[in-house]
Amino acid sequence: MSMREQFERACEVIPGGVSSPVRAFGSVGGTPVFIASAAGPRVFDTDGRAYLDLVGSWGPALLGHAHPDVVAAVQAAAARGLSFGAPTLAEVELAELIRTRVPAAEKVRFVSTGTEATMTAIRLARGATQRPLIVKFAGCYHGHSDGLLAAAGSGLATAGQPGSAGVTAAAAAQTLVLPYNDTTALAAAFDRHGDRIAAVITEPAAANMGVVPPAPGFNAALRQITAKHGALLIFDEVLTGFRVGPAGWWGLENTAAELDPDLFTFGKVVGGGMPLAALGGPAAVMDLLAPLGPVYQAGTLSGNPLATAAGIATLTLADDAVYASVDAAAARLSTSVGAALEAAGVPHRVQHAGSLFSVFWGEAPAAEPVRNYAQAQAQDPRRYQAFFHAMLEGGVALPPSAFEAWFLSAAHDDEALTGIEAVLPQAAEAAARVRPEPRPVPVTPPKAAKGMVSLVGGGPGDPGLLTLAGADCLAEADVVLYDHLAPYESLQLARPGAELVDVGKLPRGEFTPQEDINRLLIEHARAGKRVVRFKGGDVFVFGRGGEEWEACNAAGIPVQIIPGVTSATSAPGLAGIPVTHRGLSQGFTVVSAHVGPESPRSTLNWEALATNATTLVVLMGVKTLPEVCAGLVSRGMDASTPAAIIHKAASPDMGVVRGTVSTLAQLAAEAGITAPAITVIGAVAGLDLA
């Protein structure tokens, strides 16, 4: 069966024919090579052909493939049992080995993948600080958990994707993405959001957008800024840990305790090629994990005995001689690669981080060092495509992406390096034959270019509930149309000089007709302006967002939706009233009572609402409250059902009036309750958790 036939067979049962996207050769073209076995510096495909390997299973093969002592350790562990779901001494021994190498990791928790390690580290940081936001750097890859896929490198850079479908706006909004090596941007982010940032996560030496080392003092600045603001610093050493040195990048750069992060994540080498990863840090932080603390994490296969056996054997064998050998091999090969490309006239730049290196292709990186993801993306990966296939044809397997590090091992001896170097000239010539991509001719936009409209949901009455995406929209707006339910304090986030237009529908009967609001949105957008329609709550929860979207769409105006927090749940929550409770109410219904149950214009089934035994949340029902309450009782609701009305939620003069469905209307009138107010009817209204 040919390689192509094997790939077609795989595509029938596996999405894309692969179990991890970059393996599909999508960046370099052609058919993926199916590997049957590996030994030392070589891998062997299913046809029996050998390749000198510079992928190294994406990092774990520090000692070379199938090191006899590591294989023997795994075989011995397998003979004792594959998985126990119980503590083992092997976990303890491996954790002690890690702590010996990295004393700052006082305690260690084992998981199965790097993604799981970083996901847990972030949950732990949020649990430790009680803050929601995470800072990451564009181009740094920390696994595929939802909040970390924005502007990631590696596989996502290869596919040219800025994120991933299936990641919600709410999840993405919890992550601030900044340029790598930019301390000014980091300081600005903390000036704006410092009391809400739980942690900064970074690759201390980036190697998932190609190899981009930290600028001098960058990691130290991360430590200083996070410590100043009470945020945690997470070093993601899944790739660099125990590969670039006995203590990873931390060991190379750390000269004083001031650089100790609050958490580490480890993977790749720590498991010796088996599915194993870890997170570690000071005991005070790590002991917040269950079962000692409130931050939950669990895994049936965590600390698997085969994986820990491989990890112990690998770290035990990885002595100073191994690291010296890998460093020397990487220095020799990277020099040879650069010389071959120079001789062939290929514009390029080779960058290093310890024993990791990669090549950036084209005039832009040749002119200046690559320091961030934007500069990494400016390379010409077509040259790498030609280089890659020439090397593969010559029996050398490279990472199938220009955005990956090259990995050497202690098994790459002189014979292996000489074999690789022999193929470099022909591969460099193949790269040289690729013509530079023509630069697009700039097109001058028409003078009457249309702007766009953003329908932004605010946190009803509370600027702290405004999403980051909503805040960014305000900061870029030319015109903001707002109503009286929008959080006024958030208007200060609008771009200086932006026009602020009050289109509030006032409770005394004065209002701006919806048709006029639609017209204003369209007119400003047609004038080329960025227009924000700033709502009090969610765009679509009893707002006119649907009508505004339809009007703009009919006029050909681009519209984007930035969801907001609905007052239907936030107002009760601020008042200490949950809308659901396992023992009291297993659901809630939100209704508009701008017309009451006796009005012929009502479209609600009030009989069902009166008897469905869930929480009823009533919006726009202050004037109709007597009719609503009486109508529910007359239709079968128990007159003693708890009820509460929340007045001016989130404002300094917020008030809560409590009673029953039969008494609430009178109590609200006596208290002088006016709009805006939200009514909660049901058993939960009897709770007071504030």
Q: How far is CA 610 from CA 617, 622, 630, in A?
A: 12, 18, 11
For 545-591, what is the HEC assignment?
HHHHHHHHHHCCCCEEEECCCCHHHHHHHHCCCCCCECCCECCEEEE
Place of tokens 């010996």: 100
CA–CA distance, 336 with 342 (Å, rounded to integer):
10
Active site residues: 483, 505
CA–CA distance, 569 with 619 (Å, rounded to integer):
11
Query: Which contiguous run of DSSP H or E holds residue 397?
Result: strand 396-397
CA–CA distance, 143 with 115 (Å, rounded to integer):
4
Q: How far is CA 102 from CA 237, 280, 302, in A?
A: 12, 9, 21
Q: Number of helices and strands (H, E) in the chain?
A: 23, 23
163 φ, ψ (degrees, to nearest 5):
-170, -145
CA–CA distance, 80 with 414 (Å, rounded to integer):
38
CA–CA distance, 459 with 480 (Å, rounded to integer):
16
**Which amino acid, one-letter code, is at 283?**
A
CA–CA distance, 80 with 78 (Å, rounded to integer):
5
Q: Helix, strand or coil for residue 243?
A: coil
Exposure string (b/e) for 70-108, b if CB count within 10 Å is 16 or more? bbebbeebeeeeeeeeeebebbebbbebbeebbebbebb
Cβ within 8 Å of residue 161, ≥6 positions away: none
Encoded tokens for 67: 């090191």
Place of tokens 């980091």: 186
Strands (E), 252-370: 263-266, 277-281, 348-353, 356-361
**Which amino acid, one-letter code, is at 648?**
K
Return the ∠ at Cα 253 (arms to 249 and 256), rounded to 5°: 125
Strands (E), 420-539: 452-456, 479-482, 499-502, 530-534
228 φ, ψ (degrees, to nearest 5):
-60, -35
CA–CA distance, 365 with 459 (Å, rounded to integer):
44
**Which amino acid, one-letter code, is at 72?**
A
Q: How far is CA 666 from CA 126, 348, 597, 616, 628, in A?
A: 44, 79, 18, 19, 12
Place of tokens 């510096």: 41
In this structure, are residues 566 and 573 in contact, taking their beta carbons and an 8 Å threshold? no
